[in-house]
Amino acid sequence: MRVLRRCLVIVTATCGLISWPVAADDPPNIVVILADDFGVGDIQAHYPENKIATPYLDRLVRQGISITDAHSPSAVCSPTRYGLLTGRYSWRTRLQEWVIAAYEPPLIAADRPTLPGFLKRHGYHAACIGKWHLGWNWSGPQPSRMTEIRNGQKSFQWDFTKPIRGGPTDRGFDYYFGVDLPNLPPFTYIENDHVAALPTSEYQLDPSEGVVLPGHSVGAPMAPGWRLQDILPEITSRAVRHIHQRAQLSKPFFLFFSMTSPHEPIVPSKRFQGKSGIAPIADFVMETDWSAGQVIQAVDDAGLADNTIIIFTADNGHSHYTGWQELVDVQHLPSGPYRGHKGDIWEGGHRVPLVIRWPARIAAGTSSKQMVCLTDICATCAEAMGTTPPPEGAEDSISFFPTLSF
């Protein structure tokens, strides 16, 4: 990773010699779509020999620019989310391995500047819909804390009637709806700083839901009637609705659509089950493509396309334990030509797709070999709106905005 960071500094510092001012009175809307465990090889337009159809993302590729040497700051989930939202590498935090476990406290410090907070100070409305996985301060007889045992707090008692502090709305977002993560308790939606439905039932394993199900969480708190298959369609619908609502207002908006797929549990909804003809994981990749497509289409239908930056990327490489071999057996290579997968230091672990559309400033159907990191999104968004990040934060973020503009 030391070599990777050095290369990032060399490449992007050169581009920093160019200035592309943007009119401050017409700042762009910004929509970041972050897929979860979506491999660099999973967009068919980038790797036509691969076998999973991705028509919605293929269309995005034709409409925007593909950054073909893009990397997540980590090969697993929580550290990448931290880096994207703060412009800092996660090794600057307490999290030196793995991810945030169930009921663990916030990874983003209360006084840490964030991208949504920065945008809010410049007149934006900021919303996060989908997966958070950056920790909360849950109420209970014991505080949320880090534990040596993985998910060591999942059997503790928690008071779900009380507000949950330290989450998205305490870290710069105006609005949040989603789940902490789909495969760990509590199995319920969270809206802003409270659970949307009290988890008064207990999770039971239902093989009809899909594969790679959270069997380790049987008996955990669950909202009555909770269905894992409903999560992706629900957050997709919420994101689409949010875009149409914001289109009625004059204030620019930032939407972080943090997807739960194709991360496990592998639970394609009924309309996608068997659609790939390959395996459930391939069906779920297709549904991920569909979900991203609905959000992109909402921007178009709302008449916001010209002045909205849409960024599609992923938090790390494709997972190796959710059906990897079934994909390889049909010659679909989730990491493309690169070695490794999620969790690896090899490029398959951290090289990710990055496609950006902004019709007002980006030439359609283009590509760039510039090396970038997802931590750079913070500075890039700041330059796109005609300013720079605050000097006290985002110290690992270098704008690649000049690469995008024509």
Closest CA to 285 of 294, 296, 275, 295: 275
Residue 124: how many other CB atoms lie within 10 Å:
22
Q: What is the DSSP string of 172-233?
A: T-SEEEEES-TTSS-BS-EETTEESS---EE----GGG-BS--GGGTT-EE-TT--GGGHHH
- Residues 322, 324, 330, 332: is their CA dihedral positive or negative? positive
At residue 5, does pLDDT exceed 80?
no
At residue 380, does pLDDT exceed 80?
yes
* DSSP 8-class letter at 44: T
Q: What angle do CA 384, 388, 305 make, to 5 degrees?
A: 15
* Rounded average pLDDT over 128-132: 98
Q: Which segment of 8-22, 195-209, 332-346 scores lowest on mean pLDDT?
A: 8-22
Q: How far apart are CA 131 and CA 129, in angstroms?
A: 7
Q: Which segment of 37-46, 154-163, 391-400 scores lowest on mean pLDDT?
A: 391-400
Give the pLDDT band of residue 24 (cuts 50, 70, 90). low
> Domain coordinates of the chain in residue numbers?
2-13+32-338+363-404
**pLDDT tens, position by position, 277-323:** 999 999 999 999 999 999 999 999 999 999 999 999 999 999 999 99
Q: Which segment of 12-16, 93-97, 136-140, 287-291 scores lowest on mean pLDDT?
A: 12-16
What superfamily would CATH give domain 2-13+32-338+363-404? Alkaline Phosphatase, subunit A (3.40.720.10)
Amino acid at 254: F
Q: How far apart are CA 44 and CA 284, in angstroms?
A: 15
Closest CA to 348 of 360, 359, 340: 340
- Structural contact between residues 115 and 84, judged by C-beta atoms closer than 8 angstroms: yes
Q: What is the pTM of this model?
A: 0.92
